[in-house]
A and B are shown apart, each in its own frame.
Chain A
Amino acid sequence: MVTTSPSDPMTELATPVESPAKASPSTKANNPNPIAEQDAMIEIDDVSFSYDMGKTNVLKNISFNIPAGKVTALIGPSGCGKSTLLRCLNRMNDLVDTSKVTTGQIRIMGQDINAHDVDPIELRKQVGMVFQKYNPFPKSIYENVAYGLRIQGIKNKARLDEAVEKSLQRAALWNEVKDRLNSSALGLSGGQQQRLCIARTIAVNPRIVLMDEPCSALDPIATARIEELIAELQEEFTIVIVTHNMQQATRVSDRTAFFYLGELIEYDDTTTIFGNPSVTQTEDYVSGRFG
């Protein structure tokens, strides 16, 4: 059972379970510069995943560690499994009835997130998500940010005010909306709505923020603001971002994982992946030779 307390967001997800022996450690070829277990926020260990109860694996024996306090980019052509993997990290795929992690474990802070005693709702408080299309609730700016906190049972107005302001400041939106907090969130520009969604996500103080192509529906200026924000949030959160924009991955991420046909092809420092990748498939993809 997840025991996360709203007042103590740093609490472990649950009592750590004993880690199984690594079934398929990453090979040197696709993970030449691995993240040590003690530096990992997320350990992905031989994970295979299926949307049809195990008939077809869309992720195949994926193993790599995502470091704490860094930005990790997942790249690859459409259908390679990067968004599926992202959704595995906060069990969003549970919403698909026939989906199933067929092999392996995903551990966050040492806890197997698919263990029977882990509550996915509690998990998602620790692992927030920002989507491709900004999706504020049809409520006021204030209520959007306060929503997660209210669900956590916080009713104290002063505490909510403080948390809303802090979250909007952290999302670099406060100065633009502080005089219209009670206006509809839907009246904001696209870039502002996306930053509001980020504010909503970080309001509940997650440990990890997942971003699924967060800038794909934004103009270049709004994109630059989100990228700047990612750099700032990195100090407080572990960020995993799916992007199709190679330049964006080079700008915002510390580590990059390249996926192809459900397999992890290569995982290394971002400068290596885009500067001198070890695997030909990676080179061909990042340089626009296939995809």
Chain B
Amino acid sequence: MPPEEPSQHILSSFDAELEQLRIDLIQMGNLVLRAVDGSVNGLLTRDIERCSDVIDDDELIDQKQKEIDSRGMSILLRYSPMASDFRAAVSALSVCRSLERVGDHAVNISKSSRKILKHGECPEIGLVKPLFEATRSQLVKALQAYTNADSLQALEIIEGDKKVDKLHKKLSKALPAMVDSGGSDVKGILHLLFISRFLERIGDLAASIGEDVVFISSAEDIRHA
């Protein structure tokens, strides 16, 4: 008969490695979320130091990526996982890549934020807040969906990306219009446009993580659907 607890592998080290991979990714997710929060909140609170911290701390995210890649490849090499284990290991590498790119976008946002804050007042800063909140919510949901292996929540993220896209599009129209109408800080508005674009990309990456979560649980590849 199959064992009483079918979720356990005969090789206990295999279970331990898969679980550690999952924990590593959750930790990386927290680092990345902190970076996104720091980058935009640094801008909104006009805290240049906080933006700089995000840039400095990106090294931690990069290191975590290397650690997770190494563990994931080791699992593939040593345990030749099958079925859901295979999907978990392969998708972990994909989620890891997405998170690392989110971290890079947080750095980009921080760099743009510092330029805006060093340059002048730029009263339009607050315009990115709705987009930031929508994007952050998407990222949090993606991390929760991965942590809880919740494919229903993952599907919600994919649907929710439309809202992020819409807010980004709205800003992309509104900000240049302000320049046309003689907006006070052209350079600042230009960087706000960049930040809007970076947030929209973070939204895409959150949706990509959602697709990975669906693949892990159902083996269904819903990308480009």
B9 interface contact, C-beta 8 A: yes
Taking a contact as CB atoms under 8 Å apart, the answer to whether A291 and B10 are in contact is yes
Taking a contact as CB atoms under 8 Å apart, the answer to whether B6 and A280 are in contact is yes
Known A275-B219, A276-B219: A289·B82 in contact at CB below 8 Å: no
A277 interface contact, C-beta 8 A: yes
Taking a contact as CB atoms under 8 Å apart, the answer to whether B9 and A289 are in contact is yes
B2 interface contact, C-beta 8 A: yes
B81 interface contact, C-beta 8 A: yes
A284 interface contact, C-beta 8 A: yes
Per the 8 Å Cβ criterion, residues 61-101 of B in contact with A are 79-87
Residues of B within 8 A of A286 (CB): 82-83
* Contact digits for B148-187, partner A, Cβ 8 Å, 1 yes 0 no: 0000000000000000000000000000000000000000
A246 interface contact, C-beta 8 A: yes
Taking a contact as CB atoms under 8 Å apart, the answer to whether A274 and B82 are in contact is yes
Taking a contact as CB atoms under 8 Å apart, the answer to whether B219 and A284 are in contact is no
Taking a contact as CB atoms under 8 Å apart, the answer to whether A283 and B84 are in contact is yes
Taking a contact as CB atoms under 8 Å apart, the answer to whether B14 and A288 are in contact is yes
Taking a contact as CB atoms under 8 Å apart, the answer to whether A275 and B10 are in contact is no
* Contact pick for B7, options A246, A275, A289, CB 8 Å: A289
CA distance in complex: A276, B83 (Å): 5
A281 interface contact, C-beta 8 A: yes
Taking a contact as CB atoms under 8 Å apart, the answer to whether B2 and A290 are in contact is yes
Residues of A within 8 A of B219 (CB): 275-276
Q: Chain A contact residues (Cβ within 8 angstroms of B): what range?
A: 10 to 19
* Contact digits for A262-287, partner B, Cβ 8 Å, 1 yes 0 no: 00000000000011110011011011
B45 interface contact, C-beta 8 A: no
CA distance in complex: A194, B2 (Å): 34
A247 interface contact, C-beta 8 A: yes
Taking a contact as CB atoms under 8 Å apart, the answer to whether A290 and B10 are in contact is yes
Q: Chain B contact residues (Cβ within 8 angstroms of A): what range?
A: 20 to 34
Q: How many A-B residue pairs have CB under 8 A?
A: 52
Taking a contact as CB atoms under 8 Å apart, the answer to whether B80 and A275 are in contact is no
Taking a contact as CB atoms under 8 Å apart, the answer to whether A283 and B80 are in contact is no
Per the 8 Å Cβ criterion, residues 1-24 of B in contact with A are 2-3, 6-11, 14
Give the Cβ gap from A67 to chain B, nearest Cβ, in Å.
23
Per the 8 Å Cβ criterion, residues 160-200 of A in contact with B are none
Taking a contact as CB atoms under 8 Å apart, the answer to whether A281 and B84 are in contact is no
* Contact digits for A34-46, partner B, Cβ 8 Å, 1 yes 0 no: 0000000000000
* Contact digits for B9-52, partner A, Cβ 8 Å, 1 yes 0 no: 11100100000000000000000000000000000000000000
CA distance in complex: A286, B82 (Å): 6
CA distance in complex: A286, B7 (Å): 13
Instruction: Name the residue of chain A whose CB is nearest to the CB of B5.
Output: A289
Give the Cβ gap from B25 to chain A, nearest Cβ, in Å.
20
Give the Cβ gap from A194 to chain B, nearest Cβ, in Å.
23
Instruction: Name the residue of chain A whose CB is nearest to the CB of B80.
Output: A247
Instruction: Name the residue of chain B whose CB is nearest to the CB of A282.
Output: B83
Give the Cβ gap from B100 to chain A, nearest Cβ, in Å.
26
Taking a contact as CB atoms under 8 Å apart, the answer to whether A290 and B84 are in contact is no
Taking a contact as CB atoms under 8 Å apart, the answer to whether B2 and A277 are in contact is no
Instruction: Name the residue of chain B whose CB is nearest to the CB of A276.
Output: B219
* Contact digits for A242-263, partner B, Cβ 8 Å, 1 yes 0 no: 0000110010000000000000
CA distance in complex: A176, B11 (Å): 41
CA distance in complex: A151, B10 (Å): 49
Residues of A within 8 A of B10 (CB): 288-291
Give the Cβ gap from A265 to chain B, nearest Cβ, in Å.
11
17 extra A-B contacts, CB within 8 A, seeds A275-B82, A280-B6, A290-B2: A246-B80, A246-B82, A247-B80, A275-B83, A275-B86, A276-B83, A276-B218, A284-B2, A284-B6, A287-B9, A288-B79, A289-B2, A289-B6, A289-B7, A289-B8, A289-B9, A291-B10
Chain B contacts to A: CB under 8 angstroms:
2-3, 6-11, 14, 79-87, 218-219
The 6 closest A-B pairs by CB, nearest first: A276-B219, A286-B82, A290-B2, A287-B82, A287-B85, A284-B6
26 contacts between A and B (CB under 8 A): A246-B80, A247-B80, A274-B86, A275-B86, A275-B87, A275-B219, A276-B84, A276-B87, A276-B219, A280-B6, A283-B83, A284-B3, A286-B82, A286-B83, A287-B81, A287-B85, A288-B10, A288-B11, A288-B82, A288-B85, A289-B3, A289-B7, A289-B8, A290-B2, A290-B3, A290-B6
